[in-house]
Structure 1
């Protein structure tokens, strides 16, 4: 029988590391719920029509059916769960839909570019000129 000798790996000498002072741990701020700030009352359809008439210069009788048709198309598109990408308004995405006994609740997320909010010229004012 042949015997083999076991060779040991050379032991490594451990050096003591100097103790380091631990930096204080800062706790992050956690936002539990974000409440939107409401700056004005909600916009009603009549007020929307009046604002569009004032900006565009068209007659109210001409603007009203167009605005009502546009709102109907937007409502149907959102109800279908489709995304909207409308330049000055932004990109709207449906995040959740829930049917209740009295309503169809649709939760959306709207993303707007900063450049459109501050410096974009009013497209309706240009069209009226």
Structure 2
């Protein structure tokens, strides 16, 4: 008698060369839909993901300020350059900025990089109101 008896189970190896179906966009959209559902269920109290808008460069900022204020571009450009310089220096010195309606800025931490610094800044903006967040005395509410 031999010990090599078959058990009756056979294994089949698939030799078909069917191409695998391409992943459809619904499979990729499922995690996004789940994320949106989870955010909606979490309520409005916690942080929520945002979709970043286009980057505003200095040229666009100057053009927008000129359009809104009605002053000439040659007059607005040096003022905006000076303002951006002052804001950059204040953040580099870890100063807290309270500039309504722009918001309240606080440097949380910094990291030295090979080409500069990376600052993590916490920004708090108030909901827009008719009086832009100013009370009767003219001081800001935060």
Q: Name the TM-score, length of structure 2 as normaliser.
A: 0.57
Structure 1 segments, 4+ long, off by >3 Å, are 118-121
Q: 1:76 aligns with which of 89, 94, 105?
A: 89
Map of 1:63 onto structure 2: 76
Q: Which runs of 5+ in 2 are unaligned?
A: 1-41, 133-142
In structure 2, the CA distance between the partners of 1:42 and 1:120, relative to structure 1 (3 Å rule), is farther
Q: How many residues align?
A: 90
Q: Which runs of 5+ in 1 are unaligned?
A: 1-28, 122-129
Map of 1:35 onto structure 2: 49
SS at match of 2:122: strand
Q: Matched residues in 1 for 2:104 and 2:85: separation?
A: 18
Map of 1:89 onto structure 2: 102
TM-aligned CA deviation for residue 120 of structure 1: 5.0
SS at match of 2:104: strand
Greater radius of gyration (CA): 1
TM-aligned CA deviation for residue 60 of structure 1: 0.2
Q: Name the TM-score, length of structure 1 as normaliser.
A: 0.62
Alignment of 1:3-18 (within 5 A): none
Q: CA RMSD in A?
A: 2.5
1:53 paired with 2:50, answer: no
TM-aligned CA deviation for residue 72 of structure 1: 0.2
TM-aligned CA deviation for residue 48 of structure 1: 0.1
